[in-house]
Amino acid sequence: MSPPRILVAATVAAMFGFPFGLHAESPSGPPAMKLVARPFGGDPLLGEGSGLMLPVMLRHAGLTPDQEERVHAIMDADRERLHTLFGELEAANDALAAKLTAPGPLDAAALQPEVDRVAKVRRELMDQGLKTALAVRGVLTAEQLAKAAQIQTRLRALQEEMRTLLEGK
């Protein structure tokens, strides 16, 4: 997948609940914060949402050459806007991080403009991702959507098994 298509896929994934967030690592020592992607349902190890499932489901949906062409056209049409939004999100996150690490006293009210900007751009990404995902979904047949639902069910079962194994239950 080319970098622009990865960008679009990442945005569609974000729309389907593939949040990125801070996660405290290193339980035996001081917490080390790192950015983690959470591709599956609801815990720090396995994440939340089903964002990574969309590319997997599309790959296994059995798209015809015409459908593949239409999906690529949808993604290509949205690429520039998504690229801009990801740049804006990175800048907003950087501004928030800069304020958080600056010397001197700080309270939530002082951070609110940066928090609002991050939330606004995330919302715009969500809206754009929804537009893209609905357009891609509109290309699929009922049978392909049913197959995608089956794949999603299987992936969730695997995720649950992974959670059980990782938690030692």
46 and 36 in contact (C-beta within 8 Å)?
no
Alpha-carbon distance of 85 to 23, in angstroms, equals 23
27, pLDDT greater than 60: no
pTM check: above 0.75: no
42 φ/ψ angles, rounded to the nearest 5 degrees: 85, 5
Three-state SS at 48: coil
The pLDDT of residue 15 is 44
List the chain domain ranges.
3-167
119, pLDDT greater than 90: yes
The pLDDT of residue 12 is 47
Question: Tokens 């928090």 label which residue?
Answer: 115
Determine which of 43-52, 74-83, 87-96, 120-129 has the lowest per-residue pLDDT on average.
43-52
30 or 151: whose pLDDT is higher?
Answer: 151
135, pLDDT greater than 80: yes
